[in-house]
Structures are given as structure tokens and as C-alpha cells.
Amino acid sequence: MIMTDPLHRDRPGLVPAGRAIEEQSFAIIEREIGSHHFPPEHWPVVRRVIHTTGDFDFAAAIRIHPQAVPQAVQAIRGGARIVTDTRMIRSGLSPWRLERYGNEVLTPAVVDGVRQAATDLGLTRSAAALRGSRHLLDGSIVAVGNAPTALLEMVRLIEEEGLRPALVIGVPVGFVQAVESKEALWACTAQPSITVLGRKGGSPVAVAIVHALLDLARA
């Protein structure tokens, strides 16, 4: 039986056949996960990540700050920009989801001069890009899916410079500083965040989380 989810009706980016497959996928996820501890406002985020990755392990690893969803929804509805560490996240975000509230997507790492700034500062390109874009981050949604160094720089900007994004999505994947950067973000209890503890993550996970939040803002 195909489940009809009110969050996923009237989706201009999906043709009926695609919508039916998506809803059937959600029904399978609901059935296989069974009972769970996620609040109603968190579950669409978790479910979207599982749907994107095909990996139920994310249900145990994901961490969602109590204010993450309401802050993100309010920011999205207010037209907040989305700042990403990679072009992959920017390319993966659906234009029809973004256009409802006019949410601009920025990737500072591709701006001219960032490479030289990173060399001069002894930082990675992604970390230097965030440092140089600090004026864009307050009130924004920051999505880090690839670069642990960018997430560590974001944590530093929060702790040392008092920046306050509406939400930080920190899900870098990998073996060097990935675990540590996500633990550092989750330790910033005053900052609304969504992360995935451990080595798993990646830009597709960041895209899934942003898509879930954009859908929640439309609901």
C-alpha cells in the first residue's frame, strides 16, 4: 500500500510516478523502523536521510538540537541564505524547493581569492572560505557535508567570535577530523545544530537534511 504523506503532496518537482515511488519508499522506511523515539518534527529529517542513503544506521547516529527544526523553519520562511562548504550541496538542492521563500545558496569556497587566502592563513580552502564569509553567517543556515576543517572553523566562529547561524548542519564524512568536528559541534549546546556522530555523512546527507527542512517550511 502506498502511503500518502501530507508533507509530500503537491510537489511541483515530482511527476506522479516519481511521487508514488517516493511515498512507497517512505512507507517501507516507516514499516521497517517500527517504533522510534523521534519527535514528530524530527522524524521527517531522519526519514529523508535514511531515504537518501538507504542506511538505517543514521537513525542511531543523527543528533538534532531541540531548537534546530523550529529555528530552521523560521529562517527559511524569512528567506535566509544557505551557506554550503561544497558545490555538490549547492548543485543537489532542488530549485523548486528554494524558490518558494527565495532562499539563496552560497558556496564561499568557489569565490575568487579564497585559494590564496587559504595558503596565506595555512588553512584549508573550505575553512578559509567560512572565515572570510563570517559576515554572511549570522541568521543563515550553514551546511557542511564534506570538510571537517570547515566545521571546526564554524565552531570556532561560534565560540570565539559569537556568530549565531540559525542552524548549523554539520555532517562531514571521512577519517581525519570528521568525528572530532561533529562532536565539537554537538558540544555547542547553545547553537541549534543537526549532526551525525561518527564517520558517516557527506554532502548527500546535508542535502537530504536541507530538503527535509524546506519541505517542513512549506507544510
**CB-count exposure of residue 35 (10 Å: 0-12, 13-18, 19+):** exposed
Cβ–Cβ under 8 Å, residues 52 and 59: no
Q: Are 172 and 146 in contact (CB under 8 A)?
A: yes
The alpha carbon of 95 is separated from its chain's Cα centroid by a whole number of angstroms, namely: 16
Q: Which residues contact 83 (CB under 8 A, 6 or more apart)?
A: 105, 106, 107, 108, 130, 133, 136, 137, 140, 141, 142, 143, 165
Give yes or no: 42 in active site: no
| Cell 538534532, located at residue | 64
Catalytic residue among 8, 37, 51, 65: 51
| Closest by Cα among 110, 115, 86, 111 to 210 | 86
> Which active-site residues does the annotation give?
51
